[in-house]
């Protein structure tokens, strides 16, 4: 019987998953972060981050350009920035292909996400990855 991941091992796998998602997202995708996340994100992200109003709510959006992907990976490695997001989504062609809730406690991955099977299998020890 497998034992659940704990402590640093869990954190390292969560970090690797976030980086994998950012690197694997299709060209033209956006990272959408809910503004109930850490209020220092706009200053940290600078002009990489735009604010979009959708209905009665606001969202923070980072286009996943090669430069922004490199920035996000560096921030994930240096400061575990993904842990500062309450909820985040990766959107491509107007569709959510990754939905992450409560600081990555639950992640829903669209079966059409690039390398879907490998990601689900590799990160299964984290638990709540729903395909």
pLDDT digit string (tens) for 48-92?
Answer: 999 999 778 899 999 999 999 999 999 999 999 999 999 999 999
Tell whether pTM > 0.85.
yes
Q: How many whole angstroms separate alpha carbon 71 and alpha carbon 69?
A: 5
Higher-confidence residue of 10 and 91: namely 91
Q: Which of 69, 49, 71, 70 is nearest to 60 (CA)?
A: 49
Q: Which of 90, 54, 40, 85 is nearest to 69 (CA)?
A: 90
Domain ranges of the chain: 7-130
pLDDT confidence tier of residue 3, bands split at 50, 70 and 90: very low
The confidence score (pLDDT) of residue 64 equals 98
């Amino acid at each position: 019987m497998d034992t659940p991941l704990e402590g640093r091992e869990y954190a390292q796998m969560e970090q690797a998953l976030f980086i994998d998602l950012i690197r694997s997202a299709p060209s033209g995708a956006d990272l959408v972060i809910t503004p109930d996340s850490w209020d220092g994100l706009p200053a940290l992200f600078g002009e990489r981050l735009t604010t979009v109003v959708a209905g009665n709510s606001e969202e923070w959006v980072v286009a996943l350009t090669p430069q922004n992907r490199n920035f996000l990976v560096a921030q994930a490695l240096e400061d575990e920035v993904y842990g500062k997001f309450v909820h985040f989504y990766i959107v491509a062609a107007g569709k959510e292909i990754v939905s992450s809730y409560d600081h990555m406690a639950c992640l829903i991955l669209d079966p059409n996400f690039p390398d879907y099977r490998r990601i689900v299998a590799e990160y299964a020890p984290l638990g709540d990855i729903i395909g």
